[in-house]
Amino acid sequence: MKKLNELYPEIKDDINITDIKINSKEIKKGDLFVCTRGVTADRHDFIDEAIEQGAAAIVVSKDVGVKTVPIIKVKDTNEELPYLCQKFYDFPDKKLKMIGVTGTDGKTSVATIIQTLIGKDKCGYIGTNGRSYKEFEGDSPNTTPDVHYLYKYLNEFVTNGCSYASTEASSEAFFRGRLKLMEYDVSVFTNITSEHLNIHGSFENYLESKLQLFKQTKKDGFCILNRDDSYYETVKKVCKGKILTYGSKDECDLQIVKFSIYPYKTDILFKYKKEEIKIESPLLGDFNVYNLAAGILACLALGFEIDEIIKKIQEIKISGRLELLNTNTPYYVMVDYAHTPNGIYKLLNFVHTLDINRSIVVIGQAGERDYLKRPKVGDVVVENATYAIFTYEDPRSEDPKDICNDIIKNLKETHDNYEIVIDRKEAIEKAINIATAKDIVLILGKGNETYEKLKDKTIYFNDIEEAYKAVEKRKNKEAKVNMSN
C-alpha cells in the first residue's frame, strides 16, 4: 500500500492506494485505475465504471474532465505503467536474482527445472503454469503477465522470503513492453522456430523480440545458450552478459555426451569442466535432455554446486508436460502442452521410440493466433501420428470449424487418418474410446491449463480432468456390458 502523493509528489492528496489495475471490472475500493490503451480497447472509456467500482484515483493521458476522484495526467499511460508498478511495489525486481527463459519451445520446462533445482523455498516461478513459491500455487493470466500483475507477483516472492525468480519471457511480453524495465542476472535461450507471426508480422520481428532478453541481461550476468540451435550465432551477437553454452559439441560449457531414454527415466552423461557427470532424469524425450542441461547450467552460473544440483533432479515434475496419466488401463493417456510444429514433431518422434502400437492425437489450434501455423501443425500430426482428431482450442471469436479446416487444408487429398470433432470434451472421449491395448492417446496443446476461451466467455476446462472422466466413463460402460454378458 502507498499513498497517492508518494507515487505522484505533485499531487497533494494523501489517500491510500491499495492496488493498481488496468481493467475496470477488476477494480476494488482504493485501487488506482490506469487508463492504458490495448489492442481493442481504450481504458479511458471506462473511467466512470472504475469510479463506481471504488477506484481512488485515475491515471490518464488525455483530458477527461472533472471527476469525483483525483486525476493524474501523464504523457503516455502505457509507458507510465511499468515505472508506476515498479515504484508501487518498491522495486521487487531489484531485490531478486532475475532469471528469464525464452525460446519457441521449452520455456515452461526450463523455468520450472530452474525453480526446482534452486528450491521453491528460495525461488518463485512465473509462466504458463501460473505462479508458485514455497507451498503456494496460483494462476497467472498470461505466460508473462501484464505489468501490474508481474510486479505484484515478484513482490509476493520478496515478501515470502524468495531470493530468485525463474520467469518465462515471452516474445509478446517484450513486444507489448511488459518487460522493458527488467534487468536479468541470467537469461536462457532454448530454441527458435517460427511462431506468433499474427502478433509480430514476420519471423524477423519475432526473433528480434526474443533477442531483447539477452540485450537486457546485466553485464556481469550470464547468457545460457543452446549451441546446437541454428540461431545460436545470431543470439550470441547481442548478448551483454557472459556466454555459457550447452549442447552436444565438445566446446560447450555443459556438454551432452550421450543419453538413453527409457519409458520412465532418461540416463544422461554430461561433461562439465572436463569431468563426466552421470545423471538419472525423471524427464523423458531428447528435448528434455536439452531442457535439463539449460536448467543445470543456469544454476551453475548462479553459483550452485553440481552435487547440490544433482540431489534435486529427482524432484523435477513439470505439470502438463509429458504427463502420463495413471489410468490403470491397457492403453496409455498422456497430456502435453506441445502446440508448435517443432514441439509436436519432437514429441511424436519420442513417443514412437516407446513400446506402443498406435498413437492417437487430440489437438487444435488457438483462435486469433498465427493462422499460417495451422496447416503445418496438421501436416506434422498426420505424418507422424497413427490417427488425429482435430478439435477446438481457445477459439475465441473465430469459428472453430474454420480453424479445423485451416488445419486440414493440405490433407484432404493426401491423408485419411484424421477426423474433426469440434467439441474438445467429445474429441477426448472419442480418442479414449477407440484406443486399444498398448495404444497411446496424446492430448496436446493445453497441458494443465484450466480454461477454454470461447467467443463470448471463458469456461473452466482441464484436459487432464476430462481425460480421467472419459476413462472412467469407458470403464463403467465396459463393466455394464460384462455384467449383462
- Pairing mode of beta strands 458-460, 418-420: unpaired
Q: Tens place of pLDDT for every residue, the chain, 485 residues?
A: 899 999 999 998 899 999 999 999 999 999 999 999 987 789 999 999 999 999 999 999 999 999 999 999 999 999 999 999 999 999 999 999 999 999 988 999 999 999 999 999 999 999 989 999 999 999 876 778 899 999 999 999 999 999 999 999 988 888 888 899 999 999 999 998 855 555 656 888 888 888 999 999 999 999 999 999 999 999 999 999 999 999 999 999 999 999 998 878 999 999 999 999 999 999 998 999 999 999 999 999 999 999 999 999 999 999 888 889 999 999 999 999 888 898 899 899 999 988 899 999 999 999 988 788 899 999 999 999 999 999 999 999 999 999 999 999 999 889 999 999 999 999 999 999 999 999 999 999 999 899 999 988 999 999 999 999 999 999 999 998 888 76
- Pairing mode of beta strands 136-138, 130-133: antiparallel
Q: Between 77-88 and 147-159, two packed helices, what is the crossing angle to 10 degrees?
A: 10
The CATH superfamily of 92-315 is Mur-like, catalytic domain (3.40.1190.10)
Contacts of 457 (CB under 8 A, 6+ apart): none
User: Dihedral (C-alpha) 293, 294, 297, 303: value to the nearest 10 degrees?
Assistant: -130
pLDDT confidence of residue 321: 85
State the CATH architecture for 323-480: Alpha-Beta Complex (3.90)
Q: Taking the model in full, what pTM does it have?
A: 0.86
- Tell the CATH topology of 2-79: 3.40.1390
pLDDT confidence of residue 198: 54
- Measured CA to CA, the distance from residue 303 to residue 296 in angstroms comes to 11
- Measured CA to CA, the distance from residue 143 to residue 227 in angstroms comes to 25
pLDDT confidence of residue 140: 78
Every domain of the chain and the residues it spans: 2-79, 92-315, 323-480
CB 211 within 8 A of CB 102: no
pLDDT confidence of residue 358: 97
pLDDT confidence of residue 85: 97
- Pairing mode of beta strands 387-390, 359-363: parallel
pLDDT confidence of residue 416: 94
